[in-house]
Amino acid sequence: MSESSSVARVAATLRELVKDRPAGARLPSSRSLVRELGVGPVTVQRAIDQLVADGTVITRPGAGTFVARARVGGPADTGWQRVALGASPVQASGALEALSAPPVDCLDLSRGYLDVGLQPTSRLAAAAARAARRPQAWTVPPPSGLPELRTWFAQQVGAEAEDVLITPGGQGALSTVLRSLVPAGSPVLVAEPGYPGVISLLRSAGLVPVAVPTDAGGLRPDLLERAFATTGSRVLYVQPTFANPDGHVLAADRRGPVLAAAAAAGAFVVEDDYARFLGHTSTPPPALLRDDTDGRVITINSLTKAAAPSLRVGCVVARGPVMQRIRALRIVDDLFVPRPLQETAVELVTGAGWNAHLRFLSATLGERMTALTTALAIELPQCGFTRPQGGFSLWLELPRGVDDADLARRAEGAGVAVGAGRHFVVAEQDTAHLRLCVAGVDLPRIADAVQRLASAF
């Protein structure tokens, strides 16, 4: 059982204890809980921290843990807010689905975040400790980010440091960039299937996502040209390398035609390069930015997927006047990325162990993906898929007549969490899909996870 599952189990046990006790009653000591529940003291403490955070218990140093007093008064009458707010423009269902933790003891094939075993936790802890001791660690950073971090990101994608802006992760960068380029109501072309976080973002910003189909070679240039002509769009969003959710790579002979189609339409290309460090076997192709000769491509990169979910440090790479607008909106949104986080990122990626971590991550993701595809071929031969060469997700085509959302619910009941494919598309689909991720389940449990999924059929 994973550490997070153990913490959730202990927290649930403590909540049951609290139900039967009056306010002010003392709970068993941490030492007693460790002995009775068969877990470590750290697990017990983290479970108690969860209950303290939601107001269920309070702790008194040297005295123990006690049931908190009930809140005074009943629930507030907030019905007036529904009248004042009106219809909500915010549509975050796909993003929320991607963030939601599966139930305790449910194998996780749904979320695209590295489990603790794949995160460089010891290196992150050491980097954070060193960063906090830097003389200027708690001062205001330069508006565009720390020079060392900008230089490092520039080297990864083949750009100049002055064209790099540090952002609070990839999602924050996408929000700033897309809102900078076009006003609300504008169409934005999106490769489909695609990242649900950007679909939710576009709809919530009042922008209109328009699907452009892909195949094993990525975006189809003929359909892209037609989409530009039909919609008059001035923005294309695309993940050319190990795209989420199907892991495809934009074919080498399509890179030029995609940029040419954007140039003919006078459009920007927003390149989400989130998976640059997630190749399984070979070096990923260069960023699309390197083929750009006129400042058309705006590239977004992030450390979150390759390091840890809470290392929310990313960048935007852009050339020309558009960077001035992006930088200005970035500052208006939240001023700057906290300097300690930037300093931690610098310490991590410039340290001796970063490249070793990337090699370990690459090999492990490859092994897990091989185990997943092997198990699928045995347990679900009626489903189709193409093995990705990078990233952490696989796009599983379901037999006709199978409902993806219903299957996902039944799979959770069978003990495995999967992603319903409808969150990854804009338009109607002929065939339903599931997204399966290998980031959150370790190698020995993958076959078991697929067997549970098969039982849900």
Q: What is the pLDDT along the chain (457 residues), one digit of tens a residue?
A: 455 677 888 888 888 888 878 888 888 888 888 888 888 888 888 888 888 888 888 888 878 888 887 655 566 787 888 888 888 777 776 667 666 777 778 889 998 889 898 999 999 999 999 999 988 989 999 999 999 999 999 999 999 999 999 999 899 999 999 999 999 999 999 999 999 899 999 999 999 999 999 999 999 999 999 999 999 999 999 999 999 999 999 999 999 999 999 999 999 999 999 999 999 987 889 999 999 999 999 999 999 999 999 999 999 999 999 999 999 999 998 889 999 999 999 999 998 899 999 999 999 999 999 999 999 999 999 999 999 989 999 999 999 989 999 999 999 999 999 999 999 998 777 889 999 999 999 999 999 999 999 999 8
Backbone φ/ψ region at 176: left (φ over 0), alpha (ψ -120 to 50), beta = alpha
Domain boundaries, the chain: 3-67, 93-119+355-456, 135-349
Could you tell me the two tokens for 6?
A: 């153990």
| Token output for 409 | 């619910």
What whole-number distance in Å separates Cα of residue 288 and Cα of residue 270? Answer: 10
Closest CA to 323 of 112, 108, 185, 143: 143
What is the rounded distance in angstroms from the CA atom of residue 13 to the CA atom of residue 312?
32
- Amino acid found at 366: G
- Of 106, 133, 259, 236, the closest CA to residue 181 belongs to 236
Q: What is d(CA 183, CA 124) in angstroms, rounded to the nearest whole number?
A: 39
CATH architecture, domain 135-349: 3-Layer(aba) Sandwich (3.40)
Q: What CATH number does domain 3-67 carry, 3.90.1150.10, 3.50.50.60, 3.40.50.300, 1.10.10.10? A: 1.10.10.10
**What's the one-letter identity of residue 433?**
H
Extract the tokens encoding 26: 């003392």
Taking the C-alpha atoms of residue 120 and residue 303, their distance in angstroms, rounded to an integer, is: 12
CATH number of 93-119+355-456: 3.90.1150.10
- Cis amide leading into 245 (omega within 30): yes
Nearest-10 crossing angle of helices 41-53, 30-37: 120
Identify the CA nearest to 269 among candidates 189, 337, 169.
189
Token pair for 94: 């796909």
